[in-house]
Amino acid sequence: MTTQAAKARKKNTHPSGDERYKAIDMAMRKFKYEKDALLEVLNAAQETFGYLSREVLIYISAHLGVRMAQVYGVATFYHLFTFDPLGAHNCIVCTGTACYVKGAGEIVENLSKRFDVPEGQTTSDGLFSLLTARCVGSCGIAPVVIMDGKVRGKETPESMAVQVQEVLDRERLLEAEAG
Ligand code: FES
């Protein structure tokens, strides 16, 4: 392990406080920070963020102790990875086992229907992305949804639909006011 990677791991998660980085931390821990786990870690990052930003790639590079060139090389080689950003707001529904048995599937289905957006995609107005991830490490409050980077627990299809509607209404109001 390089000293730099060891230092990066000591700082628990991303300095921004964005909870989504926890999913990347979990994937790296699961594979004991093995460099060979790069593909799995990129996959976890893609599932959680919906795309791979430069910042995420730098984070993974620093924590796994793998050079950026190699991280980019792997990320661009596989077509399953995307570098396009998400909509203005995003909801990541955890579909790990604990969340799934507590109704995560219904949350995804309801949001998809209500806001007319297939899982893993963004609404045509670019305002809302609906994503799923495997366990994000908060099983005690399942089912878990990460809404705009904040973890929300014990959600229901209806409670999430209300929250998303509120955020989108606010966004549309701001747009209308801005003319
Ligand atoms: S399964 Fe959803 S937080 Fe663990």
Domain boundaries, the chain: 3-77, 89-178
What's the confidence (pLDDT) of residue 37?
93
CA of 159 to the centre of ligand 1 (A): 18
What's the confidence (pLDDT) of residue 34?
92
- In angstroms, what CA-CA distances link 85 with 41, 42, 103, 152? 18, 15, 28, 22
Instruction: Name the superfamily (CATH) of residues 89-178.
Output: Glutaredoxin (3.40.30.10)
For ligand 1, residues with CB inside 6 Å are: 94, 96-99, 135-139, 142, 144
Q: What is the pTM of this model?
A: 0.65
| Nearest residue to 128 via CA among 162, 164, 82, 152 | 164
pLDDT along the chain (179 residues), means of 10: 68 78 93 92 89 93 95 83 83 94 98 95 90 88 92 97 96 86
What's the confidence (pLDDT) of residue 10?
67
CA of 137 to the centre of ligand 1 (A): 6
What's the confidence (pLDDT) of residue 178?
84
Contacts of 20 (CB under 8 A, 6+ apart): 48, 49, 92, 136, 146, 149
**Amino acid making up residue 25:** D
Of 47, 131, 135, the one to substitute when testing ligand 1's pocket (max ligand atoms within 8 A of C-beta) is 135
CA of 73 to the centre of ligand 1 (A): 30
